[in-house]
Amino acid sequence: MSKSSDFTILPSHVGVIMDGNGRWAKLRNLPRTAGHKEGAETFRKIANYACDLGIPVITFYAFSTENWSRPELEVNAIMDLFRDYLDEAKERQAENEERGMRVRFIGDLTGLDADIFEMAMGLTDLSSDKTRITVNVAVNYGGRQEILKSVKEIASRIQGGEIVPDDIDINMISDGLYTANLPDPDLIIRPSGEYRLSNFLTWQSAYSEFWFSDILWPDFTEEDFDEALRAFEKRNRRFGGI
């Protein structure tokens, strides 16, 4: 596996759409829940690897606002996986502290079961002072809904007389997002053969580079992550310039 010194440039923020769990399971005649369980292991592996490489921020798309429409059995299984991850993260607190890993959960967490919400907030608080890497886990998250949240907060400030419409700028909208004070993603990775954002980091991805692959998420390896980073190195990022 690579080291950070092997790359000429690393993205400051990587977004990952964890896709293909269900198809992975179907190909093996397994229940979809088995695919989600295997995908959770891949999440842990890639988060640790990104930390070892020295990537400052990585955001994983774990559960969207639209995913509630999936079968109840599958949704419940995913929620149980969140519980398992949160329990395990608490048990590995010393290891995560040594890694310098800050874990945050972004999205409308009030829509989650109370026990998951409390465990997520507890883990966030425990790791809040870590600075080597920020791992964002997007749960009950939607990019459009995130923008709407920010706009509503701005509207409330206008209604309260704190600001006027002419005060609104791009930074003000960004400051109302879940990723406030973090860099926008330089690179977004989507495995599984799909070529769309699926309501992920909609505002923040305005100038992101994209890397797509046919690999299903449970099969995604550190070497595949390296391949995405190699492709990023070769991109000419002009941001509208020449």
We report the CATH number of the domain holding residue 126 as 3.40.1180.10
- Asked whether residue 157 is assigned to any structural domain, the reply reads no
| pLDDT value for 24 | 97
CA 237 to chain centroid, in Å, comes to 22
| pLDDT value for 237 | 64
Q: pLDDT for 87-130, tens place per residue?
A: 888 787 778 788 899 999 999 999 999 999 999 999 999 899 99
| pLDDT value for 89 | 83
Q: DSSP 3-state helix, strand, coil percentages of the chain (rounded to 5)?
A: 50, 15, 35
- Asked whether residue 169 is assigned to any structural domain, the reply reads no
Q: Work out the burial of residue 191: count CB atoms within 10 Å of its CB; fewer than 13 is exposed, 13-18 middle, 19 or more buried.
A: buried
Q: Model's pTM, two decimal places?
A: 0.94
CA-to-CA distance for 123 and 85, rounded, in angstroms? 11
Q: pLDDT for 37-96, tens place per residue?
A: 999 999 999 999 999 999 999 999 999 999 999 999 999 999 999 999 998 887 877 787
Range of the domain at 100: 13-142+185-233
| pLDDT value for 97 | 80
| pLDDT value for 66 | 95
Q: What is the mean pLDDT of residues 137-165?
A: 98
Nearest to 212 by CA among 196, 198, 200: 196
- Asked whether residue 8 is assigned to any structural domain, the reply reads no
Q: Work out the burial of residue 43: count CB atoms within 10 Å of its CB; fewer than 13 is exposed, 13-18 middle, 19 or more buried.
A: buried
- Asked whether residue 159 is assigned to any structural domain, the reply reads no
The structural domain count of the chain equals: 1
- Asked whether residue 166 is assigned to any structural domain, the reply reads no
| pLDDT value for 208 | 97
- Asked whether residue 217 is assigned to any structural domain, the reply reads yes
| pLDDT value for 155 | 98
Which residues are designated catalytic?
19, 67
Q: pLDDT for 171-215, tens place per residue?
A: 999 999 999 999 999 999 999 999 999 999 999 999 999 999 999
